[in-house]
Every structure is written in structure tokens, then in C-alpha cells.
Amino acid sequence: AQTVTQSQPEMSVQEAETVTLSCTYDTSESDYYLFWYKQPPSRQMILVIRQEAYKQQNATENRFSVNFQKAAKSFSLKISDSQLGDAAMYFCAYRASPRFGTYKYIFGTGTRLKVLA
Amino acid sequence: EAGVAQSPRYKIIEKRQSVAFWCNPISGHATLYWYQQILGQGPKLLIQFQNNGVVDDSQLPKDRFSAERLKGVDSTLKIQPAKLEDSAVYLCASSSWGGSNQPQHFGDGTRLSIL
């Protein structure tokens, strides 16, 4: 069974600095998708960035980028130039490729990010 | 476009009572998900619909939870009877097609407290 592990319950970063959130996963499949979601106190989950496992190039979305290490089954999120609005819970999520007949997302336990002014 | 709508936003009931949550996905989204998020944990999928058919309900406690998606649009999740461990936020999400890499769009969730 697939699992997703986020080993950092909480992280802090100074405003304008860079922070990296860690995520590891376990799967026997070769084709899948990985996501980072942000959940502010308002509770609505918002997609931050996604990565297809078959793509070697790391995904980037403005200040957010990932370090995808497929062999190590590692998928970390780097936030550059941190802003106060980045403070939230961040969840790493795994989804198998639909070719394998499974669709469900598996979420990690989350990392609470605090941004210090 | 309008987002995923959920109601109510908060609900407080006593154990052994019943409760229902409602979700209206984004227009045109064929796939609908219900998640349970217990405090301090990540969301756990309860049930996934593709149109009005169930794709995955392997983690739904079927002795007390039920869900339906009539006409492939709105969905209702029911708990009867509720237990203390059902206290959680119930999130609804939708995506344009379950077979693609289209991301899920989440609603604001319903926070359920069991007394």
C-alpha cells in the first residue's frame, strides 16, 4: 500500500527567507502524481504545485519549487522569499496513475509553516 | 467559476444522533470526493464518485456512513448514528475527470463536533 510521510510537524521561517518542507512516500508503481496542497486557517485546501513522476524536470510555480528524487522517493517543497500569507498547513499528496485503476489521493499528516515578521 | 459549495459550515450534535452534509461541486466536474480530516491529520478519502457511480468507498464505515450523488451533481454524506470519533472536518472536493491529472478543487468543509 502507498504511504506518504511528512516528518516535520512544524517549521518556522523568517519573512523573505527560504524554507524547505520534506515529504517521502512509498510505492511500488512507476507512474504516479505528487502534489503539495496548502490549507490556511480558513480550511480550504489549495493546490500549490504538482509533479508527474515520469517527468525528470522539477516543477516550479513562481516562488514554489520542488525537488523530486524518484529513486529516493522524496518530494520536497521549497518556498523562496517567504511571505506572511504563506503561513498555513502544507500537505503532500500522492495519487496513482489512473492506468492502474486506482484513483484515490493519499495525504501526509501535514507540516504547519509559521512565517515570522 | 464558482467553487465547491458545502453546507453547513459547522454542526454540533450529540452522540447517537444523525447528521447530513451537502456538497455542490464545480459545474461540469464529473468526479466528487468526500474526505474526513481529523484534527492534526491529513484528509482521508471516504468515498469517490464518478458521475453518480461509486469508484472507491473502501474506507467508508458503511455501518454508519452513507453517501449518494443523485443525477451526478450534488452529493450528500450522512452519519447515523454518530460516534465521538466522528468529530472532524468533512471536506468535499471535485475534479473535471478522475482519469486525468486534473487537480481537485476543495470546498471549505464542515466542522462536525460530537458531544
Distance in Å, alpha carbon of B55 to nearest chain A alpha carbon? 8
Pairwise CB contact (< 8 Å): A102 & B103? no
Examine the pLDDT at B15 and tell me if it is beyond 60. Answer: yes
Sign of CA dihedral B112, A3, B40, A110: negative
Pairwise CB contact (< 8 Å): A107 & B42? yes
Query: Could you say which residues from 25 to 54 on chain B have a Cβ atom under 8 Å away from some Cβ of chain A?
Result: 31, 33, 40-45, 48
Q: Give CA–CA dist B34/A98, Å, rounded.
A: 19
- Does B5 touch chain A if contact means CB atoms closer than 8 Å? no
* DSSP code, position A76: E
What amino acid is encoded at A13 in this protein?
V
Average pLDDT, chain A: 91
CB pairs under 8 A between A and B: 57
Cell of A66: 520542488
Rounded CA Rg of chain B: 13
How would residue B87 be classed by pLDDT, with cut points 50, 70 and 90? very high
Segment A37-63 mean pLDDT? 90
Chain B positions in Cβ-Cβ contact with residue A55 (cut-off 8 Å)? none
Examine the pLDDT at A103 and tell me if it is beyond 80. Answer: no
Closest CA to B45 of B53, B56, B30, B29: B56
Residue B56: per-residue pLDDT: 86
pLDDT tens digits, residue range A56-94?
899 999 999 999 999 999 999 999 999 999 999 999 999
Residue B101: per-residue pLDDT: 65
Q: Phi and psi dihedrals of B101, rounded to 5?
A: -95, 20
**Residue B74 CB: number of other CB atoms within 10 A?**
15
Closest in B99, B103, B106 to A98, CB measured:
B99
Residue A67: per-residue pLDDT: 96
Q: Give CA–CA dist B55/B78, Å, rounded.
A: 18
Percent of chain B with pLDDT strictly greater than 90: 72
Using H for helix, E for strand and C for coil, what is the string for chain B? CCCCEEECCEEEECCCCCEEEEEECCCCCCEEEEEEECCCCCCEEEEEEECCEEEECCCCCCCCEEEECHHHCCEEEEECCCCHHHCEEEEEEEECCCCCCCCCEECCCEEEEEC
Q: Give CA–CA dist B110/A51, Å, rounded.
A: 29
How would residue A104 be classed by pLDDT, with cut points 50, 70 and 90? confident
Pairwise pLDDT comparison (A92 vs B98), residue with the higher score: A92
Residue B9: per-residue pLDDT: 94
Residue A98: per-residue pLDDT: 65
